[in-house]
Structure 1
C-alpha cells in the first residue's frame, strides 16, 4: 500500500485538493450549521488537512505504526466549543472518507490501471483508519460537550426559576431579560402547568412534536412545572398535550407577559389542588374550578367552613356521613336535579330527596336558598380536599368542576 501511494503521491495531492473544495461546497450548501460557522476557505483547508491525515494514517497502518489522532481530537473539541452539531461533524467525516477512496482509486487508475487489484485489499485498512479518526473526533466532542450541556441546563433552569418563582436574584436577570434569553417574546400568550409527580417533562416533549404548544419544563424535588408558550393556540391545547400521559395537572389562566408567570404558577398549583381528590388522571384549568380553588387557597377558612356548615354531618357515623356527602356532591354535579342524581347513585329519586332533606335538617341550610347552596358547595369542596390530603378520611363524591349555571334547588 505504501508503495502504491508513493507512486501516485503528487497526482493524489492535486486530486485531494479538488475533492476538498467539492466537499466544502456541498457541505456549505446543504448544512446551515456549517454555513453559519465557517467560511469556504477555512472549511476547505480543514477538509484538505483531514484527508491528508487519513492518507498518512493509511501509510502508518501499512508500516504497523499507531495512528496519530491528536488532530482529530483537537477538531472534536473545537467544534463542540463552537456549538456545531455532532451529526453535522460526523456527516462531513463520512462523506470525506467515501470521497477519499474515490479519489485514491482514480489516481491509481490514471497512473497504473494494472495496480487497481492490488489496491482493493487496502479498502478495509482505509475504512479502519477513517473509523478510528471518526471515533476520536466523536469522543473528544462528547467529552467537551458534556460539561457545556450541564452548564446550559443549569443556566436554563435558573432562567426558568426567575420566571416561575418571581423576583430575580441579586445581579440576576429580570423577567423580561430571562424570557428573551429563553427565546420567549416580550408579549404573547403564556400559561403555566404544575404536575403532580414526575415524568411529564419527557412525555410532554415527545407528545409535543407536532402542533402542540412549546413547553419549557422545570424539574425540581417538589414536582414539575411547565412554562407554556401558547402562541395562537387555545388553552385547551395544554390539556390535549397532557391527556395521553396519565398525570394530574393544574393549568393557570392565560397571561400576556413574562412578568406575570410567577403569579400564573401559583394559580396553576391551586388548579392542581382542585383535582387531587378526583381519583383519576386529569388536567384541570383553573377557570373551570374557581370555587374549589378558592377553598384550596384558604386552608384555615376551609377548615372553619367544614366545621360550621357541615359539622353535624361530619359527626355522623362513617356510613351515614359518606352517604349524605356523596349524595350532596352528586346533586351539585347534576345541577340540582334529583332525577339525574338518582340515576348516578343507582337509587330512587325519592331516596335522594329524603337524604337531601335530612342534610338540610342537620345543617340548618335550605337547598332552595342560593346563598345556602353556595355555602354547602364550598364546604363540600373543603371536605373533598381534606379527604385527598388525609387518606384516612372517608371518601365522598368529588366537588363539581365549576359553578352551576343556575341556582340549584330540589326538583323532579
Structure 2
C-alpha cells in the first residue's frame, strides 16, 4: 500500500483537491449533513476541512502500513473546535464517513490511471483504510463530547446566574432587562414564578410543554420562571397538577424587573398551599387569606394563641375533633348539614361541637367578624400544626372566659345555621 501510494502521490493530491471541491459543492438535497455544516461554518470551511481530512486519512493509511498508529491529535482538536462552534456531532461524523468513501474512490481512480494491473494490490488496503477512518471519527467524537459537556456545564451555570439575578432583584439599573435578553425573554410580556416544595426536588420539574418554564434549583425550593405568552395563569396548574407537585404560583407580572417580587409571592403561595390531602398547586390570588397569615409568622402565632388557645390546650383527640369540625364547616360555607355529610355524623353532633368551640373561644359563629378571626386562626394552625401534647396548664386565656356584652350580661351564641 505504501509503495502504491508513493507511486501516485502527486496525482493523488491533485485528485483529492478536486474531490474536496466536489463534495463541498453538493446541494442540500444531496446531503443534508453537509448542508448543516455549510450553513453554520460556510462552504469554504467545509471544502478546507474535507481536503484536510482526506490528506489525514492518507497519512494514517501510510502510518498503518509501517506498523504505526494513525496520528489523532488533529482529529481531537477538530472535535473540540466544532463542539464550541455548535456544529452537530452527526454532521461532523457524516463528513468523516463521506471522506472515507471519497478517498477509496479517488485511490482506485488514481491507481487505475497509473497502472490498472495494480488494482488488485490495492484491495488488501480497504480494511486498513476504514480502520483509520473509524479511529479518526472516534477520536473526534470523544473530544467533541467532552467539549460539549464542558460547554453545557458553563451554559447551565450562566443560565442559573441570570435566573438568580431576576429572582433576587437588586443590582444595577437595567440588569434585569439584560438578564432577560440573554435568556431570550422579551422586555415586556406575561410572566409568573412558580416555586416547588423542597420535598419534591427529587421528582424533578417538568420539561418542555406549554407554557415555557426556565427552572432553577435553589436552597428554598426549585423555582421556575414561566413565560406565559397568551396562555392563562391556570395553564401552570395544568402543567404541574398531573405530576403531583406541591407548588406556589405568583400572580402575572409584565416586566423582568417584577420577577423578584413575584418570586416572593410564589413562596407565600407555597406556604399557603394546604399540606393535607395530597399535593396541591396554589395560585396566590386564590389563597390570599392564607398567604396573609403565612406572611406574618409572629402575628400568626399570636392569632393562634388568642383565638384558639383554649382549643389547642385540649387533649389531642378533642382538639383534633373541634379543629376538623371548624375547618369542614368553613369549607362548607357555614352549612351544618353539608359539614355533617362530610364528617359522616349527625347534624346535631356538628352543632354541639361548634357550640363547644364557641364556648371555649368566646366567639360566635353568627358574628361575621368572629368568623373571620376563627377562619384566619384555623389557617394559622393548619400552616403550623399544634404539638402532639397539650401545653402545661396555666392561667385561663382571656379568650376562654365567657364573653360579656357592654351591659354585663353573658352573650349567648346562636346555633349555627345550615
Normalising by structure 1, we get a TM-score of: 0.85
Classify 1:91/1:227 alpha carbon distance in 2 versus 1 (closer, same or farther; 3 Å): farther
- State the match for 2:288 in structure 1: 290
- State the match for 1:300 in structure 2: 298
Moved more, 259-268 or 113-122: 113-122
Classify 1:51/1:173 alpha carbon distance in 2 versus 1 (closer, same or farther; 3 Å): farther
Cα distance in 1, alignment partners of residues 102 and 387 from structure 2: 69
Structure 1 residue 60 displacement after superposition:
1.4
Check the 8 A contact 1:28/1:35 in 2, yes or no.
no
Cα distance in 2, alignment partners of residues 370 and 27 from structure 1: 78
Moved more, 157-166 or 221-230: 221-230
Match for 1:267 among 253, 258, 265?
265
- State the match for 2:94 in structure 1: 91
Cα distance in 1, alignment partners of residues 202 and 259 from structure 2: 18
Match for 1:317 among 315, 318, 328?
315
Check the 8 A contact 1:325/1:380 in 2, yes or no.
yes
Match for 1:45 among 41, 45, 48?
48
Please give the residue correspondences for 1:10-409 in structure 2 after superposition, counting only pairs within 5 Å.
12-26=12-26, 30=32, 34-105=37-108, 119-168=122-171, 174-197=175-198, 203-206=204-207, 208=208, 211-275=209-273, 277-387=275-385, 392=388
Check the 8 A contact 1:176/1:258 in 2, yes or no.
yes
Moved more, 306-315 or 237-246: 237-246
Check the 8 A contact 1:27/1:92 in 2, yes or no.
no
Cα distance in 1, alignment partners of residues 331 and 369 from structure 2: 17
Check the 8 A contact 2:206/2:240 in 1, yes or no.
no
SS across alignment from 2:384: helix
Classify 1:119/1:335 alpha carbon distance in 2 versus 1 (closer, same or farther; 3 Å): farther
- State the match for 2:404 in structure 1: none
Cα distance in 2, alignment partners of residues 9 and 203 from structure 1: 59
Cα distance in 1, alignment partners of residues 115 and 18 from structure 2: 21
SS across alignment from 1:204: coil
Moved more, 9-18 or 158-167: 9-18
Check the 8 A contact 2:200/2:246 in 1, yes or no.
no
Cα distance in 2, alignment partners of residues 61 and 216 from structure 1: 51
CA RMSD, Structure 1 to Structure 2 (Å): 2.9
SS across alignment from 1:233: coil
Structure 1 residue 205 displacement after superposition:
4.6
SS across alignment from 1:226: strand
Unmatched 5+ stretches in structure 1: 395-408
- State the match for 2:394 in structure 1: none
Cα distance in 1, alignment partners of residues 104 and 242 from structure 2: 50
Cα distance in 1, alignment partners of residues 336 and 139 from structure 2: 75
Moved more, 88-97 or 231-240: 88-97
Structure 1 residue 365 displacement after superposition:
2.0
* 1:45-101 per-position Cα deviation (integer Å, ceiling 9, x unaligned): 111111221122112112211212222122123223333343432333233334434
Classify 1:21/1:162 alpha carbon distance in 2 versus 1 (closer, same or farther; 3 Å): same
- State the match for 2:409 in structure 1: none
Question: Over alpha carbons, which structure has the higher Rg?
Answer: 2
Unmatched 5+ stretches in structure 2: 391-414
Structure 1 residue 200 displacement after superposition:
5.4
Cα distance in 2, alignment partners of residues 204 and 22 from structure 1: 49
Check the 8 A contact 1:201/1:224 in 2, yes or no.
no
Structure 1 residue 10 displacement after superposition:
5.2
Check the 8 A contact 2:192/2:252 in 1, yes or no.
yes
Classify 1:375/1:85 alpha carbon distance in 2 versus 1 (closer, same or farther; 3 Å): same
Check the 8 A contact 1:192/1:261 in 2, yes or no.
yes
Check the 8 A contact 1:213/1:238 in 2, yes or no.
yes
Check the 8 A contact 2:193/2:259 in 1, yes or no.
yes
Structure 1 residue 298 displacement after superposition:
0.8
Check the 8 A contact 1:302/1:379 in 2, yes or no.
yes
* 1:128-177 per-position Cα deviation (integer Å, ceiling 9, x unaligned): 21122122223333444444433332222221111001112x6x961111
Normalising by structure 2, we get a TM-score of: 0.83
* 1:307-357 per-position Cα deviation (integer Å, ceiling 9, x unaligned): 121122112221111001001111122222222222221112221122122
* 1:226-255 per-position Cα deviation (integer Å, ceiling 9, x unaligned): 111111122222222223433211111111
SS across alignment from 2:223: strand
Check the 8 A contact 2:212/2:226 in 1, yes or no.
yes
